[in-house]
Structure 1
Amino acid sequence: MICPPFITWKDHSSVQVSFLEVLAELKAAGATWVQIDEPILVMDLDSHKLKAFTEAYEQLEDALSGFSVIIETYFANLLPEAYKETCCFYFMLTYMLDEEIKSWLTFVAQKILEVNALVKALAGEKDEAFFSANTASQASRKPSPRVNDEAVQKAASSTFASTIRESKHRRGTPVAARLDAQQKNLNLSILPTTTIGSFPQTPDLRRVRREYKANKISEEEYIKAMNKEISKVVKLQEDLDIDVLVHGEPWRKDMVEYFGE
């Protein structure tokens, strides 16, 4: 997989030589597939940038010959112009799914629409068509063979799976009882707010983790720094009137560090 570095449009040609060298090395090593990540493709590109993109891949065409090529982009619809310019390659796109599967999924844009629909419904302005479409979508998913694999179901009903289901790994309290206890304890609003858990890894956090790994600071100093960060993010959430607070997982590695290791 090739992830192009962040560069300006003026100097994009400067990486072409590097790309050619990498592709030559991959071909010599016997690689048959190449994936190039191009998240820029989902942006509103002007004609100049589209032209630069097209020219870049024209220069790579010979080097890519013989490879099965995936050009990947993310989280939005691909511009028709960008697709036309690169249709000679095989695209693996997050949104290039058939309509049935797309109707089962929601990303940021769809979730915003859902929240707006809920707000309007609570205000007495329910969009019946929107909710009916959602109900139909979920109903079509339940019996679909795309999410019902007989082999998986057989494996799940095996002795091992049954043992797990009946063991301590399964909670003894029904969901309804847990929800009732949660509401009594937290007194949540109809639409409670929280975060997904991890807060951004700041430069200071990364520095402290590096110093701890290098034995430049003690475990006590490391824990003190983590607790300080926890206090900071908890106060931030309190100031923002968040309903369910998290500690932000300051000691958790970020994905860049994880993949780098």
Structure 2
Amino acid sequence: MDALVLAPAAVLGLVVGSFLNVVIHRVPRAESLVRPGSRCPHCGTAIRPRQNVPVLSWLALRGRCAACRAPISARYPLVELATALLFAAVTARIGVAPELPAYLYLTAIAVALTMIDLDVQRLPDAIVKPSYVIGALLLTPAVVAGADWTAALRCLAAMAVLLGFYFVLFVINPNGMGFGDVKLAGLLGLYLGWLGWSAVLIGTFAAFLLGGVAGVALLATGRAGRKTAIPFGPAMLAGALLALFAAGPIAAWYSGLLAPAV
């Protein structure tokens, strides 16, 4: 795809990533995203606009507060860079299409929810619940433009299927899965349903595969025990993004395995 399209998407990702750092820090604490403005968590000094340029300001300040020289975590520019790269990748995958804003929004909340779940092992309702409405509204122009009401019904059906599937898993083993995962599953079903049933299946399977691999790796390295609660939200979100990029090739490969040899 033309760099004239991908470059603005990456820049938008940097800006959104900067805002996501605020979301990641404040939403779990039930703090306002608007007031007060950004401040150094160590000395409380307000961060000036020129000190808040994504990535560049952190590099210019050498990772330290301009006032008290306390270290600023490298996670802030990494979140910004990750969001920029994902925005560019999603734009390359979707193209300039009516559904692009919907999947950029999904990408943004995926970054925020992943970091929050890793930090506090929660998927805040303040992000997940409104995203059902926002996701549906952002996908509506694509439905209208293509008159693809079948895809719209598939979105709703996939949302209901994944909600039901994860709810059953939660009822069977409430200690193995949080109810936040159930609510996130329905949202991911809405988005994966637009891509097709193969994306729903691959995204769901990938979530459990990635979650299992992460759990085994943590156990093997001694960073977790058998009773340690391991956040599943990041695996669900990673599985959904994997399906966005690779559901088509994976489904074609699997169909090839099932096809009889000629």
TM-score range, shorter chain: under 0.3
Q: How high is the TM-score relative to the length of structure 1?
A: 0.23
The structure whose residues are more often helix, as a share, is 2
Q: How high is the TM-score relative to the length of structure 2?
A: 0.23
Structure with the greater alpha carbon radius of gyration: 1
